[in-house]
Structure 1
Amino acid sequence: MSPPVVPKRRGVARLWHAAGHSLDGLQAGWHEPAFRQEVLLAAVLVPAAFWLGRDWVQIALLVGSVMLLMVVELLNTAVESVVDRVGPEWHALSKRAKDLGSAAVLLSLLFAGGVWGAALWTWWRG
């Protein structure tokens, strides 16, 4: 038995449908404690970026580093979900995939911390 044929959407209908999938993804991410913490952190840091940044480039770096962290967290969650879907038994490749996702989150955290730390240091020194 072949899978059902899904009609191709075009134009606004395609965008509308894609937006629905994106909202579903954000809702799924909200169920992850790390993503919730990052959203709450973003709720503080994004407005602070407009106060701390001296020009649009600095503001973009400050906001972008926080957004990058959340994007990487969502991708890490996606990898973990796929690995868990494959099966509950331990496998070296499953561990590797999850470890790589975790390392990506760590690097994005270090990047965001470095950007914000540099901005705060510059502000502090006047």
Structure 2
Amino acid sequence: MTDRNAQAGGPEPLASTVIKKKTGVAHLFAAAQYSAQGFRRLVQESAFRHELLGFVGGLVVFALVGANLFEFLGFIVLMMLMFSVEALNTAIEELVDRISPEISTVGRNAKDLGSFAVFCLIIANGAFAFYVIVSRVLLG
């Protein structure tokens, strides 16, 4: 500590360790590593594992009913969007639990809103899959 900080009882100055941001290809690899860590964390959530099963099951059903390329792409994009929102919902839940471990209205509202966002995408995915399957089975 500097003499002035020691006398005033203030905090020690930060060490001279400055985190240097990666650039170029190193940044790309670092970002991929962070994404993989996020995926590994998300797989620990049972809701995400159920969504993954729904994704694989949906792809199988789409193949069985003869869905076209755009229907497959629509389903994949909607599922990727749902995975993204599930990841954000999990992040919100973790932050709320860390910042406000006691039960609070604000924390509950934040978690409920994240859950509602996931629910909306589950409905959107289900409606799209239902449309594709019904149109392919009934209209051939």
TM-score (norm 2): 0.81
Determine if contact 1:53/1:62 at 8 Å carries over to the other structure: no
- RMSD (CA atoms): 1.7
Report whether the alignment pairs 1:53 with 2:80: no
- Alignment gaps of 5+ in structure 1: none
The residue correspondences of 1:1-126 to structure 2 (distance < 5 A) are 1-2=13-14, 4-50=17-63, 52-54=66-68, 56-126=69-139
Report the structure, 1 or 2, having the larger helix content: 1
Determine if contact 2:58/2:129 at 8 Å carries over to the other structure: no
Residue type of the partner of 1:87? S
Deviations along 1:91-125, one digit per CA (max 9) or x if unpaired, are: 21111110100000110000000000000110121
Deviations along 1:31-86, one digit per CA (max 9) or x if unpaired, are: 111111111222222354455422x3222112222222221111110110110110
Matched residue count: 125
Tell me how far apart the structure 2 counterparts of residues 32 and 66 of structure 1 sit (CA, whole Å): 16
Following superposition, which runs of at least 4 residues in structure 1 exceed 4 angstroms of deviation?
Answer: none
Residue type of the partner of 1:66? M
Structure 1 position 2, deviation (Å)? 2.9
TM-score (norm 1): 0.89
Percentage identity across paired residues of the two chains: 31
- Alignment gaps of 5+ in structure 2: 1-12
Tell me how far apart the structure 2 counterparts of residues 64 and 50 of structure 1 sit (CA, whole Å): 16
Determine if contact 1:45/1:63 at 8 Å carries over to the other structure: no
Determine if contact 1:69/1:105 at 8 Å carries over to the other structure: yes
